[in-house]
Structure formats: C-alpha cells, structure tokens
Chain A
C-alpha cells in the first residue's frame, strides 16, 4: 500500500516545484490578484489588529504594542455605565419597531402593488417609491428637521387644525424620537425594500391563481394562500437577517435626528460608540464597546443562520 501511494503521489519537493512552475506560468493573473490581497491586508486586516487597543490605554502617539495593557478595564467600565445600557435599550427598542411593524410594511406594499391591474400605474408607483432611497440622509434629514421645526409644516398643520395652541419642537421631546425614527425610516426605505418581494411575487406561476380562482377562492384568500405562501422563503430569509442585525441602528438617521434634548431616547449603540470615540476621544473605551458588540452580533448571526438552516434548509451566509 505504502509504496504504491508513494509512486502515485510525487514527492513534496517535486509537487512544490511543479506548483511553482504553474504559478510562474500564471504570473500575470497572480499580479492582478495580489493588489486586491494587499488592499485587503491594509484596509481590512490591519484595523482588526487595531482592535487590540480595547485592552490598552491607547495613546495615538505611542506605537500600538507599547501601550499599557489594562486587560478588561474598559469592558468593565462600559458594562457599569448607565449610558451604555440606555444605548442598548434604545437600539433594541428601535430594532423591535423595525423588525415588527417596519418589516411588514414593504410586504404589504408589494402585495398591494401586485393587486393593481394597470401595469403602467404599477410601474409609476414603484419608480416613485424608490426616490427617497436615493436622497442622501444629509438632505432627507434636513427636510425632516425643517418639517419639525417651530415654524415647520407639522406645527402649521396642527395649529390650523386646532390640535395644539402653540408651536412645539417635536424633535426636542425624547418620547417622540422612536416614532420619528420609525416613520422617517419607513418613508425613506419602504419602496426600496419592497423590490425583493416584488421580484419573488413575479416568479409565482400564474396558473396557481387561475386554479384557485376556479376553485372559488376570493381575492384575500388568493393573496393569503398563494402569494404569501409562495414568498414565504423570501420573507423568512429577510426576517432572519433583520433579527441578526438588531444590535445595529441606522447611524445616519440617529446622527441627524438626535440632539442634546432627545439624547435619552436617541442615543443608540452606534451613536454611543461614535460619541465616545470621535467626540470624546476615548479611543480604547469606544473600541471596547465596538468589540463587545461585534462579538455578540456575530454570535447572533451564527445563531440566526443555524435557525435558518433548521427551518428553511437554507443558509443565509
């Protein structure tokens, strides 16, 4: 057996030299791949090394590994910080809105669009509904702030309808923030998020509908028993993805709409990390929070993937 194997398998050195020759033959291709590898090493892998600063008292003027190692000091510091737990609460609260009501809206929009009989009108609605997605948050946020200002249209409308007797600064009240964030996110992304469902719906076999109609199924029944059932895998997939992202928030949105008055409900983990790191300059502390969140998020993604494989037989990653 052994001698046979040795005869079939060339010796390691031979194999290496053959690979070397092959490699030399495709040196032009390799020369096209390696810039990419180098780019990844610099822009993706070096930052991973910099995560080490979470365990040190990092000062930017001192080389990375010469900073004092402090172990879990920063982790303990944020875990005992009330502001951190407030940020966790806000992140989860916003995520809960996003993955429950917020998740259903694009599906409903897709279903409604599918019920339209006039193809042209459908196309127009679709095209128009993507528009806010392409407007930058800098501009969209500016519009929202203008609407919510003391002389803005929300106040004008509410006063003219007699709902309030004087102007309110909507964005200054922490209790309003989640609703504002949820509604603005819905307005900006619902059309865009519906695309994937519409794509799934168009691949449904029309004969199914005809058969159901012959069997006397009404419109709602067809919607429920055919459309929803057929796009269920898509829904499940996107739902699992949404759940796995529940420790992140829409940074642009909270960055724009938060202010010192509503901070108690608007500071999510993303904003907390930003405020601690960039605004306060606590590099090590901020990185510790980020590192901690990344680990939990990754575990969550794995867990969701596991659930997905068990339930639908499909892997999301």
Chain B
C-alpha cells in the first residue's frame, strides 16, 4: 500500500474523468429505460434526454402482445439454453479426452484443431455449407456450428489438468468407463470453468442477431436481436423517408415500442450483470495467461 497523502488537484481531475466515464457507460441504459415508459404523445415529439414529462406502460403492453416479438423472445431463450448446454458438454468432452496423457494421435488432433483457429472459410463458404447441410432456415443453425471452439477447448484442457490424477485413477480402479469418469468426476469438479465458458457462450447467443439475418428467412425462427435490428433499422430513415413509407401504406413502429423492446432484449443481461461480469473478467484473465 502506498502512503496516504493529501488529495491533490490531480486526484480530483482523475475522479472527475472517471465519473464521466461511468456516466457515459450507464447513460445509454438510462436512456432506453426512461424512454420506454414515455407516454405516446410525449414520445412523438422526440426522445427525452432525462425524464419524459408523462409516463405510461402502453409500450410494454404492445411489446408483450406482439406475436412477432414474443416468438423472437422464445427463440432467443431456447437457442441460448440449448446452445450453451451443447457447447459446454461437447467441447468439454473432447477437451477431457484430449487432456488425457498417452492419447494416441494427440499431436495430430491438436494440429487439426489449431488450424481451425487461423483458417476458416468465411461468409459465403459457410453460407453454402449451411444450405448444403440443410441448416439454412432451421433452428439448428444456431446450435450446431457453435458447438465447439478450439479456444474454449484449450481453456477446458488446462483446467482439467489441475484435477488430481488420483481422483481419476481411483475411479478407473472401480471400473468406471472414461465417459463415466468425465461425467461424474471431471465435470462436477470443474464448476468454475464451466460457469465462465457457459456464461460467455450464453451472452454471445443472447446478443447474436447476425445468424438470424444471414441464415434464416422464416420469421418464426428469428431471434429477438434480429427482430430488434429490423425494427431499429427504421430509425435511421429520415422523417421524409418515414412519411413516404407511411404514404405507401407501410407501418413504422412507434419509438416507445422500440425502446420497450430494447429494454426487454437487454434486461436479462442487466439483471445477471453482477454475476456475469465477475465470471467473465475471470475468463479474460484465464485467456490472457494462456495467450
């Protein structure tokens, strides 16, 4: 610890700068939060910077009665849960086998896996693959391509090496199969790394809108973030463009409804935030030490 001296002007400057940083990071959330509660007549005059002069819950009623948004919400939850579980189980299973000493072909397997980190087909080759595999316009396009990553496998492997060998050996003497050892010894002893990787994966899937745009045409399969993207892209139109669209009989979504949908889309992240940030910061350190 450094010795305590009197606060100088420099200290105050730092505090002011950091408070400004905090403000800038929180304000976007505040902004969508308060505007989602704005009464329609206030919202029509433009978004409020601090506090709308009249409040209402109308926007949330619209959001929760809108079948498109609700279906997106359902798809997002379903895909996040399924993708996280399959990713963690599949990647950790491969990692366990790869971390065993004396695995024949380990060096070759490792090379094969490492190459996947540096070279990938990219946009169109992947797109063609999804079509050829029949994953285009299917729910599984959210799950299967994301089941494995080399990076997470390496993190799992380095954690599995810290599990005492005696634990695994004694299970083997009891006649447990390798899968049994993985399932009832290794996994229960790896809770911290499972939590970290699971959360990273879950946050990714919750926030992903891209796959829903590129690989999915069926509206019933679009996740919430893709729907949000489509709603919000309207915002960038000029008012003249919007009027032209209205004149053509198109519908533009009212601003408060968009804000309410944004709140719904970010709420789980905000609610779980203290938990998420604790684990994910740990995850970054893990990666930093490895890399």
Contact = CB atoms under 8 A, between A and B. Distances in A.
B206 A115 contact: no
A198 B14 CA distance: 16
Given A136-B207, A149-B235, A199 B124 contact: no
Contact of A136 (B105, B127, B206): B206
B266 A135 contact: yes
Contacts of A153: 31, 47, 49
A294 B91 CA distance: 26
Contacts, number: 265
B90 A35 contact: yes
Interface in B1-59: 1-4, 10-11, 14-15, 17-18, 21-22, 24-26, 28-29, 31-32, 45-47, 49
Interface stretch (B77-85, B115-123, B188-196): B115-123
A135 B31 CA distance: 14
A42 B49 CA distance: 50
A47 B122 contact: yes
A49 B129 CA distance: 10
Interface string A243-266: 000000001100010010000000
Interface in B191-217: 203, 206-210, 214
A301 B232 CA distance: 36
A213 B124 contact: no
Interface in A186-210: 187, 190-192, 195-196, 199, 206, 209-210
Contacts of B128: 47, 50, 53, 60, 283
Interface in B262-291: 262, 265-266, 269, 273-274, 276-277, 280-281, 284-285, 288, 291
B32 A143 contact: yes
Contacts of A298: 118-119
Interface string A101-124: 000000001001101110001001
Nearest to B234: A145
B61 interface: no
Contact of A169 (B11, B90, B96, B238): B238
A39 B22 CA distance: 43
B29 A131 contact: yes
A156 interface: yes
Interface stretch (A4-12, A77-85, A87-95, A271-279): A271-279
A52 to B, nearest CB: 9
B32 A131 contact: no
Contacts of A109: 21
A196 B209 CA distance: 27
A203 to B, nearest CB: 11
In the A-B complex, the 8 residue pairs with the closest CB atoms: A47-B121, A151-B46, A136-B207, A36-B94, A50-B125, A142-B232, A32-B97, A28-B178
13 contacts: A30-B105, A32-B94, A36-B98, A46-B121, A53-B128, A60-B128, A115-B14, A140-B28, A142-B235, A153-B31, A157-B49, A199-B285, A283-B127
Given A134-B207, A143-B32, A150-B238, 12 more contacts: A30-B105, A33-B105, A39-B90, A43-B148, A117-B4, A136-B209, A137-B209, A145-B236, A146-B235, A152-B47, A206-B2, A287-B122
Interface of A: 19, 22-23, 26, 28-30, 32-33, 35-37, 39-40, 42-51, 53, 60, 109, 112-113, 115-117, 121, 124-125, 127-132, 134-143, 145-147, 149-153, 156-157, 169, 171-172, 187, 190-192, 195-196, 199, 206, 209-210, 213, 219, 251-252, 256, 259, 273-274, 277-278, 283, 286-287, 290-291, 294, 298, 301, 316-317
Interface of B: 1-4, 10-11, 14-15, 17-18, 21-22, 24-26, 28-29, 31-32, 45-47, 49, 90-91, 93-94, 96-98, 100, 102-105, 109, 112-113, 115-116, 118-129, 131, 133, 144-145, 147-148, 153, 177-179, 182, 203, 206-210, 214, 225-226, 228-229, 231-232, 235-236, 238-239, 255, 258-259, 262, 265-266, 269, 273-274, 276-277, 280-281, 284-285, 288, 291
